[in-house]
């Protein structure tokens, strides 16, 4: 398979927070990979911006180090690294002051696409938008990219939307959720809406339940102070998992067009039922030999913040009424794995006389990480003599196998999304009303914990979370899929 890389139009990309962790680990290495692939035009410009003065050469050395650490595999070529670095420069700018703005404004070419990536703390998003406007750096072809978290609750998300919209139209605001940039997530839409096989079965009549798992092995690490104000609900469920849920559950859009897709996602969020306390399990990791507990990591023995959450959700619409959707996410779990599993119902009658317990429905697993891909579990006859004995086998839709090794070399989520920004395609970005609707659903759940002083259950590091989360499914005759890397 020969991949088709279509170069994007010339652009100026300013990365506010260009010396930060996200810029070094994801944004700059991602841009280098796109350069390597031939997608960046020779007259593209990438400008790093943050408060501390540094000559262009020093910034380029930092970018080179980031490429060598995060993007060098298979792309180690001094001339091409130099070629990429020739597109890069730096300006010292203070988001909250006046320093550096005139110099930055002079660098921007008003007749081209301008993309401003807000890779700074969320408290600076409003300041940046205001100053871009004040210094006349925003035109028709301007886009701003806003990192997560988009607000802390409904009120702050509304305030942020209002502030950004004072200076930019909704069509210019790209709220990034890197889960939407994953290859498999887009494949999920291709599989659902590009085939007739799945869609007729994609409803409460045939789907027993859906599981969405995002499991991490790491703890909160150096992000303890931030994480403790957020917790798994705000950090993962309100944004990433909600987006996955929307793509799984939405109606087919009339066209693969940004607003058509986002309209359908919004309807899913609005149809989510409130969640009663008995359908929620919150957890916090305990310590073990050589592993600090959550309390120690966040330096607060009294913290009531969850590092794990499992929930049973219901969508009240014609398609999904009665089909539970179980979501769980947590830190310090037994493996790093993210997947969506659509578990279909049993065949209504067993022609082969299996006992009910021996019968399993088909399961479609959409694997986000590691080993992106999909597999469909089907029942077949066990080969050989001995009558009609049934076994389950995975029908593996491994893209790499079917499409050749190039299929494994797909752009990572950030690369793809940055190119979408340049192309002006908002399909894989959250719209303002989606973000607000997600908070409107999340806020009452969190408020209830806070009112009641709800204490998360402790769980062992390396486990699958608190025992109680298993009961969420056991009590209904179901079980979680194992968390496997
Ligand atoms: P970080 O490592 O703390 O970097 C922050 C950047 O902002 C630095 O370059 C800093 O440089 C710059 N900065 C701070 N105050 C500034 C000001 N007043 N004016 C101009 N620049 C300023 O943060 P990060 O981890 O890269 O995260 C950036 C954003 O991405 C945050 O919103 C975060 O929530 C989000 N995010 C990060 C990750 C991740 O993996 N890191 C993942 C998802 C989302 P100076 O101090 O030199 O100014």
Ligand 1 probe mutation, 118, 120, 222, 229, most atoms within 8 A of CB = 120
Token pair in block for residue 311: 């929930």
Rounded CA separation 244/433 (Å) = 17
Q: Which runs of E-coded beta strand occur in 100-182?
A: 113-118, 142-146, 173-175
100: tokens are 């550096």
pLDDT at 356: 59
Pair 329, 243: CB distance under 8 Å: no
Nearest CA-CA partner of 93 in 140, 132, 146: 132
pLDDT score recorded for residue 348? 84
CA pair distance 325, 220, nearest whole angstrom: 26
Say if CB 412 and CB 71 are below 8 A apart: no
Q: How many whole angstroms separate alpha carbon 45 and alpha carbon 184? A: 30
Binding-site residue ranges for substrate: 178, 182, 216, 235, 331
Place of tokens 């390396």: 462
**Residue stretches of the chain with pLDDT short of 70:** 1-3, 354-360, 398-402, 404-409
DSSP 198: S
Given this model, what pLDDT does residue 394 score? Answer: 86
CA distances to 17, 46, 160, 241, 303 from 418, in Å? 15, 12, 22, 21, 37
Substitution site in 15, 16, 19, 22 for ligand 1 pocket (most atoms within 8 Å of beta carbon): 22
Rounded to whole angstroms, the Cα distance separating 315 from 50 reads 44
- pLDDT for 370: 86
Closest ligand 1 atom to residue 52 Cα is 47
**Terminal-to-terminal C-alpha distance of the chain:** 28
Q: What is the pLDDT of residues 345-358, one digit of tens each?
A: 988 888 887 665 56
Read off the tokens for 372: 């992106």
| Distance from the alpha carbon of residue 324 to the mean position of ligand 1, in angstroms | 38
Residue positions forming the annotated binding site for NADP(+): 17-24, 51, 148
**Ligand 1 mean position to 484 CA, how many Å?**
32
Q: Which two tokens stand for residue 185?
A: 């997530």
Q: How far is the CA of 120 from the centre of ligand 1 (A)?
A: 3
The CA-based angle 357-363-368, given to 5 degrees, is 140
User: How many secondary structure helices (H) and strands (E) does the chain include?
Assistant: 16, 15
- Per DSSP, the three-state class of 163 is helix
Question: What pLDDT is attached to residue 3?
Answer: 60
CATH architecture of 11-147: 3-Layer(aba) Sandwich (3.40)
Residue 408 confidence (pLDDT): 62
Could you give the residue numbers annotated as active site? 240
Q: Is 96 in the pocket of ligand 1 (CB under 6 A)?
A: yes
Model pLDDT, residue 355: 67
Per-residue pLDDT tens digits for 83-132? 999 999 999 999 999 999 999 999 999 999 999 999 999 999 999 999 99
Instruction: Give span(s): CATH 3.30.360.10, the chain.
Output: 180-422+430-474
Q: Which of 261, 131, 117, 296 is nearest to 188 (CA)?
A: 261
Q: SS3 of 341, please?
A: strand
CATH superfamily, domain at 180-422+430-474: Dihydrodipicolinate Reductase; domain 2 (3.30.360.10)
How far, in Å, CA of 222 to CA of 301, rounded? Answer: 17
pLDDT score for 60: 98
How many CA atoms are closer than 13 Å to the CA of 461, on its beta-carbon side?
15
Q: Is the CB of 121 under 6 A from ligand 1?
A: yes
Contact (CB, 8 A) for 28 and 67:
yes
Residue 17 C-alpha to ligand 1 middle, in angstroms?
5
* CATH 3.40.50.720 in the chain, residue ranges: 11-147
By the 10 Å C-beta count (0-12 exposed, 13-18 middle, 19+ buried), 231 is classed as buried
Residues in CB range of 167: below 8 A, 6 or more apart? 129, 130, 132, 133, 138
């Amino acid at each position: 398979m020969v991949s088709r890389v279509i170069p994007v139009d010339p652009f100026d990309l300013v990365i506010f927070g260009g010396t930060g962790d996200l810029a070094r680990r994801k944004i700059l290495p991602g841009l280098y990979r796109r350069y390597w692939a031939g997608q960046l035009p020779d007259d593209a410009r990438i400008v790093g911006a943050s408060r501390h003065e540094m000559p262009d050469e020093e910034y380029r050395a930092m970018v080179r180090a980031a490429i060598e650490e995060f993007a060098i595999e298979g792309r180690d070529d001094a001339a091409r690294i130099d070629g990429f670095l020739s597109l890069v420069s730096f300006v010292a700018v203070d988001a909250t002051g006046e320093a550096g703005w005139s110099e930055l404004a002079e660098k921007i070419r008003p007749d081209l696409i301008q993309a401003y990536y807000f890779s700074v703390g969320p408290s600076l998003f409003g300041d940046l938008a205001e100053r871009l406007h004040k210094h006349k750096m925003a035109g028709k072809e301007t886009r701003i990219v806003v990192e997560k978290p988009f607000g802390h609750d409904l009120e702050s998300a509304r305030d942020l939307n209002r502030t950004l919209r004072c200076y930019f139209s909704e069509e210019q605001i790209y709220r990034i959720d890197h889960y939407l940039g994953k290859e498999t997530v887009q494949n999920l839409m291709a599989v659902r809406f590009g085939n007739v096989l799945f869609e007729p079965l994609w409803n409460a009549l045939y789907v027993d339940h859906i599981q969405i798992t995002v499991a991490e092995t790491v703890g909160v690490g150096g992000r303890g102070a931030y994480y403790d104000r957020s917790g798994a609900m705000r950090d993962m469920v309100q944004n990433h998992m909600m987006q996955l849920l929307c793509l799984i559950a939405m109606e087919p859009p009339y066209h693969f067009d940004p607003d058509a897709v986002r309209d359908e996602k919004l309807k899913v969020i609005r149809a989510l039922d409130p969640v009663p306390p008995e359908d929620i399990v919150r957890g916090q990791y305990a310590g073990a030999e050589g592993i600090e507990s959550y309390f120690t990591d966040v330096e607060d023995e009294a913290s009531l913040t969850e590092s794990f959450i499992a929930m049973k959700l219901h969508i009240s619409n014609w398609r999904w009424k009665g089909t539970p959707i179980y979501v769980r996410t947590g830190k310090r779990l037994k493996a790093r794995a993210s997947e969506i599993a659509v578990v279909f119902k049993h065949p209504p009658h067993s022609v082969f006389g299996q006992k009910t317990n021996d019968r399993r429905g088909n399961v479609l697993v959409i694997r986000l990480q590691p080993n992106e891909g999909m597999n469909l579990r089907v029942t077949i006859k066990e080969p050989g003599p001995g009558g009609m004995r049934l076994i389950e086998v995975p029908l593996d839709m491994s893209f790499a196998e079917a499409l050749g090794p190039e299929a494994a070399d797909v752009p990572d989520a950030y690369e793809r999304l940055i190119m979408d920004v340049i192309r002006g395609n908002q399909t894989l970005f959250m719209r303002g009303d989606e973000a607000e609707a997600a908070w409107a659903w999340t806020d009452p759940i969190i408020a209830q914990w806070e009112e009641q002083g709800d204490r998360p259950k402790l769980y062992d590091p390396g486990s699958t979370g608190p025992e109680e989360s298993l009961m969420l499914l056991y009590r209904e005759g179901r079980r979680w899929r194992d968390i496997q890397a």
